[in-house]
Structure 1
Amino acid sequence: MTAPSTAPAPPSRGSRWIQQWDPEDETFWKETGEKVAKRNLLFSVLSEHIGFSIWTLWSVLVLFMGPEYGLTPADKFMLTSMVTLVGAVVRVPYTFAVAIFGGRNWTIISASLLLVPTVAAFAVMKPGTSFNTFLVVGLLAGIGGGNFASSMTNINAFFPLRKKGWALGLNAGGGNIGVPVIQLVALAIIGASGGPRVLLGIYIPLILVAAVLAALFMDNIENVKNDTGAAKDAAKDGHTWIMSFLYIGTFGSFIGYSFAFGQVLQNQFGRTPLEAAYVTFIGPLLGSLIRPVGGALADKYGGAKITLWNYVGMGAATAVLIAASMQKSLGLFTVAFVVLFVLSGLGNGSTFKMIPGIFHTKALGKGLEGEAAAAYGRRLSGASMGLIGAVGALGGVGINLAFRQSFLSYGSGTGAFVAFLAFYAACFLVTWAVYLRRTAAQGQAATASEAKPQLSYAEV
């Protein structure tokens, strides 16, 4: 029977600061901790979900912007590229904001900040507005991309190690689904002959609701401290940058295609905004829902193996896209693009799953055992995830810039898909060379000993 907990219960609703928090204490967790953690998770997901929606807002707004707006396809791809770039960059400071302001406080601040790009877009969204104005306002929407990093950091502190995979997976998936949700809302508005300001008018009150609910129901944890040394150590480790490269191929593809899919359908296949909106949400939705499956498969078979073969699948889907693009086959193109979305989501789960396993294996290699090895792995993997998430999102910038150049040079997206195919081949080779080739060379015993730490962590 578990000994009575010595950790105090969370404070009353008035203070909103929890002075001591010990989720690893089973009695504390069962009596008070689990309820508080799940409450914070719920409202964190809500805020992050809306953050993802605002980040990808311009992938929808450009569908409304017909010839009367005076923007070329290249202008629109440049616009969405810059929005993606800001979202990637702000993930770094957002990662550390929780330790500075507190999880609840930063959720309120970050949710409230979403009003700035949304209200600004509401003000300028009309024909006659200059491209530079749209670009500046679009850049503001990039802050929505940062909410993922701070939300994951915050929720990571609330849950015990045995529950982190479930909590972080739910948190990430709930945020990612913000992409197809705003696309579905846009579909309904376009179908009802509404304009872009209707969409913005819907999200402005939702942002206010998310901020108010965070203020009423979330908590700060006093003992969450910013370990800048861990960030420096993670930045010096080569595996952080190798995994960043691989995450560009998975999450970078997911967010980049989320921004670009509708534009490609319009510009290459002549789809109307309504026709494009009918299918653009399907890929991001399936890609979001399947992310935990990638983690579960990595649990069972090893993250590196799933990631390796996932890149084979992404390469095959891209080859089909190239053929469909050249043959101007809309049906085959759409199916292959949705498959590519699904595989990018699967890879999101498997690549993130690799991170704790890699650093735990390094701890074992240093001679650490038991809790010492686990603590080392948690410290560096937690710090590296913020950097990996930020760099991975830069892949979305590259995808939109590649489409822009492809349409300028060839009038279609075919050239961009050829470049993506080459990149997925490079990701396959890196995964094999760094994480599988050495293991195979050392025999079955070494394979088992190295793979085991990867399988011991919950999905992300």
Structure 2
Amino acid sequence: MTAVTDEVTRQGQAPPRGGRWIDDWEPDDERFWERTGRRIAVRNLVFSILTEHLGFCVWLLWSIAVLNMPSLSVGQKLWLTTLPNVVGAVLRIPYTFAPARFGGRNWTIVSALLLLIPCGLFVYAIENPDIPFWALLLIAATTGLGGGNFASSMSNITHFYPANRQGLPLGLNAAGGNIGVSVTQLAMPPLIVAFGLVAVGWVWMPFILLAATCSYFFMNNLTKATSSYTFREMVAISRRSQTVIMSVLYIGTFGSFIGYSFSFGVLIKAQFPDVKGANFIWLGAFAGSVARPLGGWLADRFGGARVTMIDFLLMGLGIVAVAVAVGAGNWPLFLAAFLFVFVTTGIGNGSTYKMIPAIFRAQALNGVDEADSSAVRRAMALARRNAAAVIGISSAVGAAGGVLIQQAFRISIEETAGIGPALAGLAVFYGVCMALTWYCYLRRVKSGDAVSQTSLAEAGV
């Protein structure tokens, strides 16, 4: 019997079914949370962050590699950084539902070990410089496995925390992964100088094995979070109006973060060719990653929709400042403005992910008698299950949005030799997202659907 089994049994609950499974998990029960739940949740969060972090490190391998491949055109470089994003976005759908099917701990182990594939293929590609471009594209596509990790990690951690305390842990979990982007972009250039480009593939392998081992020994599966989603259920969840709305908003926040992260080095080189981009590209992803927990904390304190709406306004203003810097050829202003935009993407990532659990909690509890504790528990379980699914779905759509941003920059550069048109389109899009947030979650209405904008606002959305 494991330590977790002993701990849960001492609280007077039924023991798990064996291994690293926990059968009785009631994080919204304050007594359970303080005595048992918090310690277990934090431990699982720590090792979830480790695996997700490595996923992002692997996902961004080619964003570094292309800067050291002068024979490639700007378009080819953007394709090699775009395809991993496409694959990562697509994989986030099955990865979302994998923890519910196999168990959060079990899938974390598998998803970590899968990262060995893109690392090994990267080494092969670099050691065979005559490999055709189509083969490079296929090899780069496998790094999308790292992008899928985010969805499974976030949907799994959602089940471990109380509904009213998910903003900060989800922000920390996501930030720990997101910062893998800047770690790759910061650590790899000196490693390449010392050992050659091939080292970018080798360096992550021992850490991947360590993450899988730690997940095996220290993480848990939650029985209540494990269930098989039918295809019909997945389609139904994806069609819900709240899923669609939050996915659009997440395109604006995470789509911007990952799109800019993949493209930042190429954009610097295209607009300021005399600047050594490798010295600066890590700053953007780092700023956005560090800001993500702040967005979750602000959303817990002031409401996710309020923070998100203001954040989109700031994102739009930041993009305008980037456009001014490009027009003036002002490198310091360009860097400062783009870093500001990265910070706002991080804040928006945290605040939107606070909104999702709050939305589905409000919907599930609508019409439920609060005096009926069993009914409340069932409603909360349903809310957590739906929120976990929507978090994964919106993360997939958001990542796909990053692809659109990358392609917008590619087309803008190829057609106009500049990024001005792409920046103008982004500024307009952020304005639309700001208006959508207000209309759906902040305006007050006297009546409406079962869960109106008023009730959502009162629920802390």
* Bin of the TM-score, shorter chain as denominator length: 0.7 to 0.9
Displacement of 1:299: 2.9
In structure 2, relative to structure 1, the CA distance for the partners of 1:121 and 1:177 (3 Å cut) is same
| Partner SS, residue 225 of structure 2 | coil
**Equivalent residue, structure 2, for 1:367:** 367
In structure 2, relative to structure 1, the CA distance for the partners of 1:156 and 1:359 (3 Å cut) is closer
Deviations 1:120-153 (A, max 9, x none): 0111125433211110001000010111111122
From 148, 151, 174, give the equivalent of 1:149: 151
**Equivalent residue, structure 2, for 1:256:** 259
Q: Partners in 1 of 2:420 and 2:444 — Cα distance? A: 36
Displacement of 1:212: 2.0
**Equivalent residue, structure 2, for 1:139:** 141
Counterpart residue identity of residue 90, structure 2: V
From 259, 267, 270, give the equivalent of 1:267: 270
The answer to whether the aligner puts 1:386 opposite 2:369 as a matched pair is no
Deviations 1:308-342 (A, max 9, x none): 22111111111111121122211111111111000
Aligned residues: 441
Displacement of 1:403: 1.2
**Equivalent residue, structure 1, for 2:63:** 59
Q: Partners in 2 of 1:39 and 1:363 — Cα distance? A: 28
Contact persistence 1:186–1:277 (CA under 8 A) = no
Counterpart residue identity of residue 68, structure 2: F
**Equivalent residue, structure 1, for 2:373:** none
Deviations 1:247-290 (A, max 9, x none): 10100000010000011111221146xx2122111111111111
Q: Which runs of 5+ in 1 are unaligned?
A: 456-460
Q: Partners in 2 of 1:383 and 1:423 — Cα distance? A: 26
Displacement of 1:9: 5.4
Deviations 1:178-229 (A, max 9, x none): 1111111123325x45422122221122112212222232233334322537
| Partner SS, residue 418 of structure 2 | coil
Task: Please give the residue correspondences for 1:60-79 in structure 2 after superposition, counting only pairs within 5 Å.
Answer: 60-66=64-70, 70-79=71-80
Q: What's the % identity of the aligned pairs?
A: 44
Task: Please give the residue correspondences for 1:5-84 in structure 2 after superposition, counting only pairs within 5 Å.
Answer: 5-8=11-14, 15-24=19-28, 29=33, 32-66=36-70, 70-84=71-85
| Partner SS, residue 196 of structure 1 | coil
| Partner SS, residue 72 of structure 2 | coil
Contact persistence 1:71–1:131 (CA under 8 A) = no
Q: Partners in 1 of 2:22 and 2:454 — Cα distance? A: 42
From 384, 409, 414, give the equivalent of 2:420: 414
Task: Please give the residue correspondences for 1:413-452 in structure 2 after superposition, counting only pairs within 5 Å.
Answer: 413-439=419-445, 450-452=456-458
Contact persistence 2:364–2:379 (CA under 8 A) = yes
Deviations 1:229-255 (A, max 9, x none): 764442231121111111101000000
From 175, 180, 192, give the equivalent of 2:177: 175
Displacement of 1:433: 2.7
**Equivalent residue, structure 2, for 1:235:** 238
In structure 2, relative to structure 1, the CA distance for the partners of 1:246 and 1:440 (3 Å cut) is farther
Q: Partners in 2 of 1:40 and 1:65 — Cα distance? A: 39
From 378, 381, 402, give the equivalent of 2:408: 402
Q: Partners in 2 of 1:434 and 1:18 — Cα distance? A: 38
Larger CA deviation: 89-98 vs 122-131: 122-131
Larger CA deviation: 257-266 vs 296-305: 296-305
In structure 2, relative to structure 1, the CA distance for the partners of 1:387 and 1:73 (3 Å cut) is same
Counterpart residue identity of residue 260, structure 1: S
Contact persistence 1:287–1:344 (CA under 8 A) = yes
Deviations 1:321-375 (A, max 9, x none): 11211222111111111110001111111222222333344446x5334326645
Contact persistence 1:5–1:27 (CA under 8 A) = no
Q: Partners in 2 of 1:139 and 1:437 — Cα distance? A: 42
**Equivalent residue, structure 1, for 2:4:** none
Q: Partners in 2 of 1:450 and 1:235 — Cα distance? A: 20
Contact persistence 2:246–2:352 (CA under 8 A) = yes
Larger CA deviation: 231-240 vs 316-325: 231-240
Contact persistence 2:103–2:226 (CA under 8 A) = no
Q: Which runs of 5+ in 2 are unaligned?
A: 1-9, 371-375
Q: Partners in 2 of 1:388 and 1:84 — Cα distance? A: 15
Q: Partners in 2 of 1:164 and 1:355 — Cα distance? A: 10
Contact persistence 1:103–1:154 (CA under 8 A) = yes
Q: Partners in 2 of 1:363 and 1:22 — Cα distance? A: 16
Q: Partners in 2 of 1:75 and 1:117 — Cα distance? A: 19
Q: Partners in 1 of 2:176 and 2:383 — Cα distance? A: 26
Cα RMSD of the aligned pairs, angstroms, is 2.7
Contact persistence 2:122–2:201 (CA under 8 A) = yes
Q: Partners in 1 of 2:369 and 2:237 — Cα distance? A: 20
TM-score, with structure 1 as normaliser = 0.88
Q: Partners in 2 of 1:27 and 1:359 — Cα distance? A: 23
Q: Partners in 2 of 1:23 and 1:357 — Cα distance? A: 15
Task: Please give the residue correspondences for 1:166-315 in structure 2 after superposition, counting only pairs within 5 Å.
Answer: 166-190=168-192, 192-226=193-227, 228=229, 231-271=234-274, 275-315=276-316
The answer to whether the aligner puts 1:110 opposite 2:111 as a matched pair is yes
